A and B are shown apart, each in its own frame.
Chain A
Amino acid sequence: MSPVMSSLARTWREFRTIAFLTLDTLFWSKKTIFVAFISVFILGLSILARLILTYNWVRAPFTPAQVFGTLMSTAVIHFLVVFITLFYGTALISEEVEGKTLTYLFVRPIPKPVIMLGKYLALVWIALLLVLPSIVSSYLILYLGSDLGPFFEDAGALAKDLGIVALAILAYGAFFSLLGAWLKHSILAGLLYAFGWEGIIPYLPGYLRKLTITHYIQSIFPHDDTPGAIAMLVGERTPPLESILTLVLLAAFFLSTACLILREKEYIIEQ
């Protein structure tokens, strides 16, 4: 094997080890029980909606697509994805500092950016693991029945939703990882951003809306018949391709900034 290939193979091995180490630490913690509970709760809402649909408990009709769209836009994208990436993303570096285990990683012959990237990969894995099954299960619960027409018709929207969720995880995950690497009170900063700043954008004019991640996500959201508040939230949509590209670039920007901060910042481990 050439020296370059050998070096790449070694870096990949280190990167993978960091990712698995982080995945193990993140997954087997009380956080996961908490997050899984919320995921299951969302499933519970799907079951309730399905029961209402099946037994006509309410007079005003709604379709599985409407319920699924509402679940996706409010519970999944606007809450679950943000919540998971905030919870885990800010913990990637902060917990190592608070737990005083960062020293072990920093005195290994591995570039600090590789540590950040490995941890980020673990974050994306765990977020996908906790969110995607919940979405697919909700879809199945709401759509499966005697008439499978809508099930197949809206499958394209489901695939788009899964893609959007993945993009959202990438972008939010990178942003909150940056906050975790940079700030001491990263959770509070993350909460203020996610539920403060992104919560007030309906009231902001013009280009200010574009200073949020949620704008680009909502711009590519496939469910047009969700509640009117969503339309107000988006205002003028950014074209889909531009939105996707922006999200990817944002993720790359936040992640590279996080790598830079991890590389240059001194983390004071209290004795």
Chain B
Amino acid sequence: MPIHDLSYRHWSGEWTSHPYRWWVITRQGISLLIQKKRFLALVILSAIPFLVRTVILYLSVVAGNLPFLRVDAKFFENFLTQQLFFAFVIAIYAGAGLISNDLKANALQIYLSKPITRQDYVIGKLGVIAFFLSLPTLVPGVLLFLLAVGFHSNLSFLQQNYWLAGSILAYSLVIILTYSLVMLALSSLSKSSRFAGIGFAALFFFSQIVYGILSHILRSTQVAWVSLTHNLTQLGDFFFAAAPQYRSPTWVSGLVIFGLMAGSAWLVYRRIQAVEVVK
């Protein structure tokens, strides 16, 4: 036709397949956070222990396996345990507002009016916080392992310690998933990101304090399962085949962490709804 119709035309191209819809939310969340300079500074700060450990790795190879420069399973486990505090701070910064800001802006209805499911939304949000939590844990943990392998002139380290890669992965994933799910659950409870952040801080620190008091009263470390960080540390000992630091059974710690994750996931799923049912 000589004169073309330039009014609205329906999209006739390919549609993104459904399994990847969550990626849009994750990508958007990551790009928004990356633009914040203070947050980037925090992430960079969390890399300092990694740099220190890299120097220790180097020195252990150059100067020999001295007691204070020993690179073994405990070396990697301690690194990840030390990163728990950085992961805590990053979880609050990146995660407190993930769902609460959407609740505040009534954006949930907009999200769920698009052809995505609740699962897509939750997985998308989970992806954001999991990505940033992997930066102080999984990524430097794996890098340290690769550096340890690379610094040796033969494959002896790899042959003796190949299983550490799995341990690093498992411990990191437990930390990432626990923190991500709990933070998302708290974020879904309120329109205030402040509430979510402080709630997570309360869980993190108060559980440690309760353990401190109970262990003092009961003169035993069997109650380590009440503390979030002690449970994670207990599982870390398990993954790295180390002697448990606390008398609390490892399976109890596993159960508590699993329960936390499951409870958080259930809470998030319950809270994410497009409509509010008023009874």
Direct contact of A and B (CB under 8 A): yes
Q: Write out the residue numbers on chain B whose beta carbons fall within 8 Å of the beta carbon of A70.
A: 212-213, 216-217
Q: Which residues of B in the span 200-247 have a Cβ within 8 Å of any Cβ on A?
A: 201-202, 205-206, 209-210, 212-214, 216-220
Given the complex of chains A and B, what is the CA–CA distance between A70 and B212 in angstroms?
Answer: 9
Tell me whether A195 and B212 are in contact (CB under 8 A). no
Check if A58 is an interface residue, CB within 8 A of chain B: yes
Q: Which residues of A in the span 11-46 have a Cβ within 8 Å of any Cβ on B?
A: 30-31, 34, 38, 41, 45
Q: Is the interface of B mostly helix, strand, loop or mixed?
A: helix
Given the complex of chains A and B, what is the CA–CA distance between A3 and B85 in angstroms?
Answer: 57
Tell me whether B209 and A75 are in contact (CB under 8 A). yes
How many chain B residues touch the partner (CB < 8 A)? 27
Tell me whether B217 and A41 are in contact (CB under 8 A). no
Tell me whether A79 and B219 are in contact (CB under 8 A). no
For chains A and B in complex, what number of residue pairs have CB atoms within 8 angstroms?
80
Given the complex of chains A and B, what is the CA–CA distance between A87 and B189 in angstroms?
Answer: 16
Check if B198 is an interface residue, CB within 8 A of chain A: yes
Tell me whether A227 and B216 are in contact (CB under 8 A). yes
Tell me whether A58 and B218 are in contact (CB under 8 A). yes
The answer, among A45, A60, A196, for a CB contact under 8 Å with B214, is: A45
Given the complex of chains A and B, what is the CA–CA distance between A81 and B197 in angstroms?
Answer: 17
The answer, among B195, B205, B210, B220, for a CB contact under 8 Å with A31, is: B195
Check if A91 is an interface residue, CB within 8 A of chain B: yes
How many chain A residues touch the partner (CB < 8 A)? 37
Given the complex of chains A and B, what is the CA–CA distance between A174 and B232 in angstroms?
Answer: 35
Tell me whether B213 and A71 are in contact (CB under 8 A). yes
Given the complex of chains A and B, what is the CA–CA distance between A18 and B93 in angstroms?
Answer: 31
Q: Write out the residue numbers on chain B whose beta carbons fall within 8 Å of the beta carbon of A52.
A: 217-218
Tell me whether B209 and A195 are in contact (CB under 8 A). no
Given the complex of chains A and B, what is the CA–CA distance between A67 and B220 in angstroms?
Answer: 15
The answer, among A31, A71, A191, for a CB contact under 8 Å with B89, is: A191
Check if A254 is an interface residue, CB within 8 A of chain B: no
Check if A49 is an interface residue, CB within 8 A of chain B: yes
Check if B199 is an interface residue, CB within 8 A of chain A: yes
Tell me whether A187 and B218 are in contact (CB under 8 A). no
Q: Write out the residue numbers on chain A whose beta carbons fall within 8 Å of the beta carbon of B192.
A: 95, 98
Tell me whether A188 and B197 are in contact (CB under 8 A). yes
In chain A, what residue has the closest Cβ to B96? A187
How many whole Å from B33's CB to the nearest CB in chain A? 13
Nearest 4 interchain pairs by C-beta: A60-B219, A79-B209, A187-B197, A87-B198
12 further contact pairs, Cβ within 8 A, besides A58-B217, A95-B192 = A31-B195, A34-B195, A45-B213, A52-B217, A58-B219, A70-B212, A70-B217, A87-B198, A94-B194, A98-B192, A98-B194, A187-B194
Give me the interface of A with B, judged by CB distance under 8 Å: 30-31, 34, 38, 41, 45, 48-49, 52, 57-60, 62, 67, 70-71, 74-75, 78-79, 83, 86-87, 90-91, 94-95, 98, 185, 187-188, 191-192, 195-196, 227
What are 14 contact pairs spanning A and B, CB under 8 A?
A34-B195, A45-B217, A48-B217, A62-B217, A67-B217, A70-B212, A75-B210, A75-B213, A79-B205, A95-B192, A98-B194, A185-B93, A187-B201, A191-B92
